Structure 1
């Protein structure tokens, strides 16, 4: 998979499309919650396989950390390390910008996946868009 920062209108639309398929169509997140005010200022990542968009995420910076958000891979492409690849690309940018910590809110079913990537759970379970989540952090 080729992971890149979305720089053009088309690349940004590809990222939004992947997010809408995964979060809105598959997980029933309301569309007006999926695309929000943070999309205008976030750095968007898009993963392509054979020229087709298959993964997406966004990154924001706050205080002393990078915040990984909206990480998703189309269902038919899961289990092939694409999620790990897009997270590594995000972590690399966080480090390049001089930050030493990353945070994310993980859906609880994906908590073990993030543990395997070095993230530690720092909260109890909470609901976001009707889906149980936990906050997680990693020192880079």
Structure 2
């Protein structure tokens, strides 16, 4: 690496400081209710968030239609923990609504889904 960003960028890992800066130095989400399948939706469509940062704006934009926490993390290409922190900030602000998906009434795994996943893995 010979360019000016060599101290702050690792080719395989990406920016070395970004997540720390994005989450304001926080590393652990304070919302145990936010799970992978928790659905998020924009509570105040059209209004701008008071929270600054492109990640906050991107989350609000993505959540105009209901999305799960996992989907938001995938779209933003952020770790789940960082995404939960940002989503939690938006929920605290009243900008996002969060709810458990309706089909999550049973905690037992669906055996048909597990069998289909296993079959797909075996075909690979």
TM score, norm. by length of structure 1: 0.25
TM score, norm. by length of structure 2: 0.27
Give the structure, 1 or 2, with the largest relative contact order (CA under 8 Å, sep 6 or more). 2
